[in-house]
Amino acid sequence: MRLSGKVALVTGGSRGIGFTTAKILSENGATVVITAKDPKRLEKSTSEISNAIGIAADIRNRNDVKNVVNKTIEKFGRLDILVNNAGIFPKIKQLHEIDEDDWNEVLDVNLTGQFRFTKEAIPYLQKTAGCIINISSDAGLKAYQGFNADAYSASKAALILLTKCWALEYATNKIRVNCICPGVVDTDMTKPFLKTQKDKEFMDNEHPIGRIGQPEEVAKAVMYFASDDASWTTGAILAVDGGESIK
């Protein structure tokens, strides 16, 4: 129970990596607030985790975001851990085919959304000497031929640099800020790319370790950064990707 007495907020926690992260944080003693866009799915997911409540919010709406943080403080009186996990993946298109509205939506959710939650959470994390874990992606570390998801790559690369900026900005407050870059993980987000046996084999082979990842493998890295085991670690960018980014 390494997180006993701590309160964690996980964005995009209704499914996939966020849901599994919320579960592991709760199993380690944290009280968890899960937030995501779809209230119905959020209710179902929250019911599967002990010591968790759900507060629906669209990360694109600053009032929704404020409401999540305010309600967390009203209910539990503190905030120790923020996991900036919510994200969307665009349709694969080359740059000259991307509609500007689609570009903006990806940046709004994957980048400005993380800014909104972090901005609201910082005053409370300052009080607890808390921590932030940003979920970026291998796509923010390097370019992949044929990947063609530029807005996504841009948002994830920016989050890597923001991790370092925030780590320096708030080090005097003892807030630790770290970042995880997953490779391809088996979630709803990647389902469209894993439809056939051939797709699966292709994706497995993209990872030197020979397979795609599972949400637990990312969630356990979040758990490390959230715990006192990482008490002297800030501004770190950890690839959890079966070696994909070092090819």
The residues that touch ligand NAD, with contacts defined as CB under 6 A, are: 12, 14-18, 36-38, 57-60, 85-88, 109, 135, 137, 182, 184-185, 187-190
Q: How many CB atoms lie within 10 A of CB 69?
A: 24
Q: Which is nearer to ligand NAD, 38 or 43 (CB)?
A: 38
Decide if 34 contacts 41 (C-beta within 8 A): no
Q: Which is nearer to ligand NAD, 80 or 186 (CB)?
A: 186
Q: How far is the CB of 4 from ligand NAD (least distance, A)?
A: 26
**Burial of 246 by CB count in 10 Å (0-12 exposed, 13-18 middle, 19+ buried)?**
exposed
152 catalytically annotated: yes
Q: Which is nearer to ligand NAD, 116 or 176 (CB)?
A: 116
Decide if 190 contacts 184 (C-beta within 8 A): yes
Q: How many CB atoms lie within 10 A of CB 86?
A: 24
Q: How far is the CB of 188 from ligand NAD (least distance, A)?
A: 4
Give the Cα separation of 121 and 119 in Å (integer). 6
Q: Which is nearer to ligand NAD, 172 or 209 (CB)?
A: 209
Tokens (6 digits) for 25: 């944080």
Q: How far is the CB of 212 from ligand NAD (least distance, A)?
A: 7
Q: Which residue among 144, 152, 170, 224 is the active-site one? A: 152
Decide if 49 contacts 34 (C-beta within 8 A): yes
The closest alpha carbon to 185, from 237, 142, 221, belongs to 221
Residues involved in catalysis: 152
